[in-house]
Structure 1
Amino acid sequence: MAKRRGRTGWLFASPALLVVAAVTVFPVAFSLILSFCEVKLEYGGLRLGSPTLGHYEALLTSPEWYRALAFTLGFTIVSVALELVLGTVVALVLERLGAARGWILALLLLPWALINVVAAQLWSYLFNGTYGAVTWLCAQLFGGQPDILGEPAPAMAAMVVVDVWKTTPFVAIVVLAGLMLIPGDVYEAAEIDGANAWTTFWKVTLPQLRPIVAIAVLFRILQAFGIFDLPFVLTQGGPGTATQSVAILGYRILFQNLDFGGGAAVAVTTAAIVMGCCLLFLRVFRTQVDEGGQA
């Protein structure tokens, strides 16, 4: 009976598994094959030539690749750290709200609900060097006529500001869900022991939130590392290549230079880095779950 139920389950799940394989496994496998072959674009389509490691050699010796990787890593670390801190603060405030919590949550969801391209275009108007509100405010505070998106450091900071503005609500909602799951008797025990609010947060609340925080950080790292639309709309990866992410670099190599093998090498290398981050955080997540259960 158990075997029959198992076969029935696989039978019903097979259409979904086939769809997943078609949209994930096949593109990854095909990109891996392209990255190790000489690829020529012909009238009838792509023609795969002899095996080669030249695409990876060119990639790993390219200064442009390391600049794109450095920007992507820096953007990911800074933006995720800020979103985690601000999202936790917002979640702690929301937990203490009463009837107004639903309205505040609805307002918080507005930036997160916006399509990334729309949000980036909106902020491009605010950062515009001629009529942008943010540019005008910076000119009033610091003088001069700043070109926020035309200089490397301000452009990078602008990317972080937009991403934090848009994605902090996601982190806040996830952390708020974790706060709602913490039993009230844990706080009562801490109060009986004489713990103040600061001690309660560090010794009680934060340890209970570790599994939830690990999930939020994992999702945000995956999303931030693959950033494409935000710098593409705001700066086209400029000025120069200052805000060019690895996703934009792969797009330019693949679709603008029509170097399918080189673009596939960028995609495979990026996927390997992301997979390493996933495995690391899954291991941390498993550890935090065990600690949370013991707590």
Structure 2
Amino acid sequence: MSVDSASGVTVPEPVPAGVVLRPPDSSVRRNQRLLARLGWLYSAPALLLVAAVTIFPIVFSVVMSLSHVTVSGSGFALGGFTGSNYSAMFGAQLWRYALEFTLAYTFGTVLVEIVLGTLVALVLERLTIARGWLMALLLIPWAMVTVISAELWDYIYNGVYGVGTSILHDLGMQQPNLLGTPTAAIISMAAADIWKTTPFVSIIVVSGLVMLPVELTEAARIDGANGWQIFWRVTLPQLRPTLALAVLFRILQAFGLFDLPYVLTGGGPGNKTESLALLGWQTMFSDLDFGPGAAVAVSTAALTLIGCLLFLKVFRSQVGKEEL
């Protein structure tokens, strides 16, 4: 410290260049602990809410799937540990068909949505006028609640007054029944799903396209590459992370298929459109077999998790090879 001779004010000594003043280590650690406690304190309400609505139901479902469940007029009670619920589930032909149908439905719809969504995104990316308005219009089907859109398509597919039925009849098809036969019901349900979720894929792909550097595309065009070559060898490799994100979201949603078959077909005709999620719901709440129903729900969640992890592993390995 020094005293200014003119004003008599005490001023601190200047800090030499390159010297950084730091508080004592104990003070730094104390401040870090305080900030960490405040962070946990502020996050506690959200964490408790997540635990109450997400973690607890998952844990309880696992416990229920491994227990003897007794149903009575006053509710249900959990008995001792058992693996019979999973044995009954794996041995049921209905579960095996629901698994096959869910896998095939997920693969088919996601593939079509990725292709159509990418094509729509390529068109939107080249627009300079009204792109924002078109993107907003595209979001309307996606923003619509699935049950509401399913009711809309149920009206379209109605065998008496449905618009789709009327169009097919005018085209020469006698007595079209879009939800009455297995093949027609599956195709009709997939069409409704594709109509709703393709815009979601388009928006994701557009966001990836607008962030791509234009230098590589311009260089490829100067070298004489045509539009297809530019897309396949320049745009698509750079777009793979965005496409992987879209595929991951759609797998998570499509594998949990419930709303569309519940509203449109109820799992029928027969059980030809019964997904794993719908099978679990019917087992638990229609048949009141809570143990096997919980086993179906847990197996569905486990298969979804395993599928997503495998997809991410394959995607990362492919990205690593490209970088090398």
Is the TM-score greater than 0.5?
A: yes
- Higher gyration radius (CA): 2
* Pairing 1:159–2:184 present: no
* Pairing 1:188–2:218 present: yes
For 1:234, the equivalent position in structure 2 comes to 264
For 1:286, the equivalent position in structure 2 comes to 316
Is the contact between residue 210 and residue 288 of structure 1 (CA under 8 Å) also seen in structure 2?
A: no
Relative to 1, partners in 2 of residues 1:147 and 1:255: Cα closer, same or farther, differing over 3 Å?
Answer: same
* Pairing 1:59–2:89 present: yes
Letter in 2 for 1:118: I
What SS does the corresponding residue of 2:160 show, helix, strand or coil? coil
Tell me which of 139, 163, 167 is aligned to 2:169. 139
Relative to 1, partners in 2 of residues 1:172 and 1:40: Cα closer, same or farther, differing over 3 Å?
Answer: same
Is the contact between residue 31 and residue 264 of structure 1 (CA under 8 Å) also seen in structure 2?
A: yes
CA distance in 2, matches of 1:50, 1:13: 36
For 2:273, the equivalent position in structure 1 comes to 243
Unaligned runs of 5+ in 1: none
Comparing 16-25 with 4-13, greater Cα deviation is found at 4-13
Relative to 1, partners in 2 of residues 1:291 and 1:101: Cα closer, same or farther, differing over 3 Å?
Answer: farther
Is the contact between residue 174 and residue 212 of structure 1 (CA under 8 Å) also seen in structure 2?
A: yes
* Pairing 1:114–2:147 present: no
For 2:234, the equivalent position in structure 1 comes to 204
TM-score under structure 1 normalisation?
0.95
Structure number with the higher helix fraction is 1
CA distance in 1, matches of 2:283, 2:173: 40
Q: How many residues are paired up?
A: 294
Percent sequence identity is 54
| Correspondence 1:1-295 to 2 at 5 A | 1=28, 3-4=32-33, 5-287=35-317, 290=320, 294=323
Is the contact between residue 65 and residue 246 of structure 1 (CA under 8 Å) also seen in structure 2?
A: yes
Higher relative contact order (CA 8 A, sep 6+): 1
Comparing 174-183 with 21-30, greater Cα deviation is found at 21-30
CA distance in 1, matches of 2:97, 2:320: 38
Deviations, residues 210-247 of structure 1 (Å, cap 9, x unaligned): 00100100000110010111111011111110111111
Deviations, residues 127-178 of structure 1 (Å, cap 9, x unaligned): 1111111112222324211111010000000011000000000000000000
> What is the CA distance between 1:55 and its match in structure 2?
0.7
Relative to 1, partners in 2 of residues 1:53 and 1:38: Cα closer, same or farther, differing over 3 Å?
Answer: same
CA distance in 1, matches of 2:287, 2:233: 54
CA distance in 1, matches of 2:51, 2:219: 50
CA distance in 2, matches of 1:272, 1:143: 43
> What is the CA distance between 1:12 and its match in structure 2?
2.5
CA distance in 2, matches of 1:77, 1:118: 24
Is the contact between residue 214 and residue 284 of structure 1 (CA under 8 Å) also seen in structure 2?
A: no
Is the contact between residue 37 and residue 48 of structure 1 (CA under 8 Å) also seen in structure 2?
A: yes
What SS does the corresponding residue of 2:272 show, helix, strand or coil? coil
What SS does the corresponding residue of 1:83 show, helix, strand or coil? helix
> What is the CA distance between 1:47 and its match in structure 2?
1.6
> What is the CA distance between 1:13 and its match in structure 2?
2.3
Letter in 1 for 2:121: A
Is the contact between residue 215 and residue 285 of structure 1 (CA under 8 Å) also seen in structure 2?
A: no
Deviations, residues 14-67 of structure 1 (Å, cap 9, x unaligned): 322222222221111111111111111235532211211111111111111111
